Structure 1
Amino acid sequence: MVTKQVMPINLDLAPEVDRLLLELGVGPFVRETVTSPIGRNDAWAGVTENGRDVFVKRLTGRAGDTQGRLRRLLDFEKYAADASFDNVHWPQFIGSDEENFIVVFERIDDAVNGATLMVDETFTLEHAHQVGRAIGHLHSTPPAATVDLDDTTPGFPPVGLLEGIPLSMFLRSSAGEIEAWRLLQNDPELIAAVRRLRDAEAQAPKVPSHCDLRVDQLLIGPEGLFLTDWEEFRLADPARDVGAFAGEWIYRSVLDLVTNRGDDAFLDTEFTHDLVLRRGVDKMRRLLPLVHEFWRAYREVRPEVDDGLAVRATAFAGWHLLDRLIAGALSSARLSAIQRAAAGVGRAALVNPEKFATTLGFGGDR
């Protein structure tokens, strides 16, 4: 598995990790093999004394949130054990310590993270096709009667926070975060669009959904495509996953406005307003075929969808960019021009999803 690594958290400070590995029969970590992939949770990857290559994650965060994420992750394992998939793969689950919020998986060897492929411009139409089929299969596979999945609606987009953030949140926010929330809260048309999306989502059919689909949750290797990080898995509007994939590529196209990726001729060109607009169209046109191929593959697997799916997915794609705005502002003193540009594109898709659905290729059955 190829991903960014940092120095591992000292396992002497987390004895429960090796204790669980011993209980599961795979043996403790060989310390010199251990690395820590970057992420929001504590994580260790390495070889155990029994020769098993494993990935260990300890969920972190507020107690209630952590408990919910662990429950949904374990729900997915129960669901997947009873489901019959043609095209969905996930890392093999080895075991867990629910008291300490630790889960253990077989590590996927020789796999590349989808985010790496995106940045290296090696994420292909075939990769997009694989993802589309995988998500289509997931959405088409209901849980067994004995599996009770979470059907609560995910918290984002947060209508309440668009009206005002609590004092406790304000006090721990960066200046960039406060600026981002102010930008959203002072936009009544945007807030109305979020309300419409939430109302439409409440009426939508619920299917097994990943609900946190990003390219860095994808591992692609010789054995095929693996979907990872099932902490938000639940019964939900399928438009969330479809929109998230599209949103990833729209966001990438905006980030590329200030790069020369795919157009070396612009290296020494002065940026004017007209040029920025033209580059925006060109960058999006270059990446949208990946969204089109995802959708085509998705509909091959799941030809029957509800009438509003395309419009809701487009609105969720728009929200995805605004969510990235908030996440990117966490450690910022102020919003950058590129962050504001991404927010503007996201707003346009969220406020006018009917118009943008055709641009994303969601207008037809294929």
Structure 2
Amino acid sequence: MDLDAFPEVDALLNRLGFGAFDRTSVSAPVGRNHAWSGRTASGRRVFVKHLVGAEPDIRARMRRMLAFEHFVGTVSELTGHVPALLGHDEDAGLVAFEHIEAESGAELMVDETFSEELAFTVGQKIGALHAASPAGEMDDTLPALPDPRLLHALPLATYNELSFAELEAWRLMQQDAALREGLENLRKWEDEAPRVPSHCDFRVDQLLLVDGGTPVIADWEEFRLADPARDVGAFAGEWLYRSVLDIVTNRGDGDVQFPDVELTHEQVLSRGAEKIERLLPLIRQFWRGYLTRRAADPGFGARATAFAGWHLLDRLVAGAAQAQRLSGIERAAAGIGRGALITPHRFAIVLGFEAAS
């Protein structure tokens, strides 16, 4: 997005005393919001985000980010593990952060350098977040998704904006009575679960690794009091999804050559089991780290597993927005997500959550 179309950005940076962006240094990371990263006239490197969406939604996200800034100052263990907010313009929907030179957790995932030690540390930080006492005024509404009502019917405005692949994804889910029941159960469990400070949009691409491996957790727009199992399930879901994507690659296969022919159904199942088994230690180390900071409440494991299942279905819909048709591998990921959501007590054993089920 052209920075010159948003004079409010330089106005904010000038008010903060940094001076306007040096246009020759600015890059614009891709995301759901407008964002710019670069050097200002004073030499300060900053990252500025302009929230995009309907006005009420922007206001709510801004309130949650500012609530997080008030809250995080009370949690010493998160010091240095979240981006430093430099300033904001609530009316313009702008927030400015200290620029961070870092690798993302998503890059480490793809490069196969996301270590068990890192997973353990991240689990500790999420556990510390969940164990902290609320501070100030915090949103306690349920996050928008998953919404079981969407498995009965989509709003007309949403329907009219969807691609063919997205409609195909929703059609698959809407025709699945067991899945609808599983989502309704999850929403009921979530509504009855303890509410603690939670990220609520936790993914590995929101992990930034700085100073040789210190994890920084970014993007707190959905922060609120919520079921802590949501964040734990999202982390597990990220690795389940990665394992399914790897079925059609030779990642982790060592010297074994990927077959030149199309995989049979039996080969897909076999390779899928191998890929999941290879990445499970990361989920289990995250969980061990988490338990050093917060004890699991009754039913936590089943809820976390169901949220992991929902994460795969959510990725199905998100991926469909970028495609014309659903691929077989996306359907496979959705199938695993469906199983985890419908029978979470069984899948909790696989993920290592059984003691908290």
Same fold flag (TM > 0.5): yes
Let me know the Cα RMSD of the aligned residues: 1.2
Structure 2: distance between partners of 1:339 and 1:305: 32
Q: Using the TM superposition, give the Cα deviation of residue 10 of structure 1 relative to its aligned residue in structure 2, in angstroms.
A: 2.3
Provide, for residues 120-175 of structure 1, a one-character-per-residue CA deviation record: whole Å limited to 9, x for no partner: 1111111101110000000000123xx01000000111111111102221111100
Q: Which residue, 235, 240, 249 being the options, matches 2:225?
A: 235
Per mean C-alpha deviation after superposition, the further-off stretch among 333-342 and 311-320 is 333-342
Unaligned runs of 5+ in 1: 1-8
Of 210-219 and 261-270, deviating more is 261-270
Q: Secondary structure at the match of 2:133?
A: coil
In structure 2, stretches of 5+ residues that fail to align are: none
Distance 1:301 1:87 in 2: 15
- Report the equivalent of 1:159: 148
Which residues of 2 match residues 17-166 of structure 1 at below 5 A?
A: 17-85=9-77, 89-109=81-101, 111-144=102-135, 147-166=136-155
Which amino acid letter does the alignment assign opposite residue 152 of structure 2? E
Matched, 1:196 2:204: no
Please tell me whether residue 310 in structure 1 is matched to residue 308 in structure 2: no
> 2:331 is matched with which residue: 331, 340, 348?
340
Per the alignment, residue 257 of structure 1 pairs with 247
- Cα distance in 1, alignment partners of residues 79 and 14 from structure 2: 33
Alpha-carbon spacing, 1:261–1:280, altered in 2? closer, same or farther (3 Å): same
Paired amino acid for 2:141: T
Q: CA deviation at 1:331?
A: 2.9
Aligned to 1:3: none
Contact 2:308 2:337 survives alignment (8 Å): yes
Percent identity of paired positions between Structure 1 and Structure 2: 54
CA distance in 2, matches of 1:29, 1:49: 6
Counterpart Cα distance in 1 of 2:147 and 2:114: 31
Q: 1:349 aligns to what?
A: 340
Instruction: State the TM-score, normalized to the length of structure 1.
Output: 0.94
Partner of 1:225: 215
Name the residue aligned to 1:321: 312
How far is the alpha carbon of 1:82 from its aligned partner? 3.0
**The residue matched to 1:364 in structure 2 has which SS?**
helix
Question: 2:272 — aligned with what?
Answer: 280
Partner of 1:13: 5
Distance 2:164 2:238 in 1: 25
Structure 2 counterpart of 1:15, one-letter code: P
The separation in 2 between residues aligned to 1:71 and 1:192, in whole angstroms, is: 33
Shift, 1:84, TM fit: 2.8
Distance across 2 between alignment mates of 1:23 and 1:308: 49
Distance 1:88 1:253 in 2: 31
- Which one of 168, 179, 197 corresponds to residue 168 of structure 2? 179
- For residue 83 of structure 1, report the CA deviation from its aligned partner: 3.1
Classify the secondary structure of the residue corresponding to 2:311.
helix
Deviation at 1:81, TM superposition (A): 2.1
Task: Note the alpha carbon deviations across 1:179-209, whole angstroms, 9 max, x for none.
Answer: 1110000000000011111111111000000
How far does residue 269 in structure 1 lie from its aligned partner after superposition?
4.7
Matching of residue 211 in structure 1 with residue 203 in structure 2: no
The DSSP-based 3-state class of the residue aligned with 1:103 is strand
Deviations 1:292-314 (A, max 9, x none): 00000000111x22111111000
